[in-house]
Structure 1
Amino acid sequence: MTPLSAVLEAPFTNMREEIWAFPLSRFFNFLPYFEYAFVDPIVNDEKLNFDSVALLPKVKAPLLVLHSEDDPIIPYHIGKRLYESAKQLQPAKVANKTTFHGFPPGKEYNHDWICQAPDLPHVVAQFITSVLN
């Protein structure tokens, strides 16, 4: 059974991009063997690579992508890129209902607190309404 829809909070495109964007990686990513010793083993392991973009053509449900502009763990542009990929790769009737909602910086939602956004219930309700129509 295909779900009616899915909500993704602060998603990323793939593990390679996220590793390079992760704040702690800047302490090591300048090392000449960083990609070979750390990134490649994770990305080349099917159980660890988390390639969300590669899976998008199989997603038959509209997505609501939520992302805070001040997310220090998964940068906003990565979540936005996943949304843009979904719009291109999902089946057309599904992609037309896939939605992105960004939360402005300064609200301190960061990576973990979008759930505290006062407008979140409205955003989700509006998405569900669009999916049902």
Structure 2
Amino acid sequence: PSESGFTTDVLALYDWVKERSGNSSIIFWGHSMGTGIATNAARKLQEERGVQVDAVVLESPYTNIRDAAAHVPVTKVSASPCTVGPHPSGSDSVHALLSPVQLYRQFPGFEYLILDSLALANMFFCNDENVKVLACPLLILHAEDDAVLPLQLGRQVFETAHSAYKDKSKVKLITFPGKLGLGHDHISSNPELPTLVK
């Protein structure tokens, strides 16, 4: 898989749907990693064909793949301080209560091995650059308790788009309170979502 390959696939799917959907609206909805694919496809459609998709929805987005890679849990180490005490069963065995603490990897070579390798593989997924040139309605959805891609990244995408769009009313950010427990993967389960997206 490649970034350009993903974009080509989305545009092929767009053409297939367009031929069969009549006057129905077509939106590109990307979640997490898919947000970069959605904005890539929308931008290419606009720049190369002069066509705007009806809307783009970015659910739990990031600014670009480099920023995303620096935040996702796979690039973190879990340190587990232990509290030692009697086993709950009452036996003499030792019971360790693990309290995971997430620490950013500060190992030498981290940027080269992970972040620079993505660039060498032509993997950029630049939402922050793509939204500067889009003109279609853009909706950004992000949960405050997203532990994979923090809300800060979604806000940055929104601010970049809002600054670039001539019609500011076309750009909207909806955040979901942490108390809802939607995290990174469950915004779509919010029963209010259909109403919000309209």
Does TM, normalized by the shorter one, top 0.5? yes
Q: Which residue pairs with 2:45 in the alignment?
A: none
Aligned partner of 2:58 in structure 1 is 8
SS in 2 for 1:7: strand
User: 2:70 matched to which residue of 1?
Assistant: 20
Which amino acid letter does the alignment assign opposite residue 118 of structure 2?
A: I
Alpha-carbon RMSD across the aligned residues, in angstroms, is 1.5
Is 2:191 aligned against 1:118? yes
- Displacement of 1:22 in angstroms is 1.0
Does 1:30 pair with 2:106? yes
- Cα 1:31–1:8 change in 2 (3 A) is same
Kept in 2, the 8 Å contact 1:70–1:108? The answer is yes
Decide which of 141, 147, 150 is 1:66's aligned counterpart: 141
Give the CA deviation at 1:124: 0.9
Secondary structure at 1:66 match in 2: strand
Q: Aligned partners of 1:11 and 1:4: how far apart in 2? A: 19
Aligned residues: 122
CA offsets 1:90-125 (integer angstroms, 9 cap, x no match):
3x12x3320000000021211111111122122111
> Per chain length, whose mean CA-contact separation is higher, i.e. which structure has more relative contact order (CA < 8 Å, sep 6+)?
1
**Whole-Å Cα distance in 1 between the matches of residues 120 and 61 of structure 2?**
20
Q: Does 2:105 correspond to 1:105?
A: no
The structure whose Rg is larger is 2
C-alpha separation between the residues in 2 aligned to 1:77 and 1:57?
18
Partner residue in 1 for 2:159: 84
TM-score by length of 1: 0.83
Give the letter for the 2:58 counterpart: L
Aligned mates of 1:108, 1:43 — CA distance in 2: 34
Give 1 or 2: higher strand fraction: 2
Mind listing any 5+ residue stretches in structure 1 that lack a counterpart?
Answer: 126-133
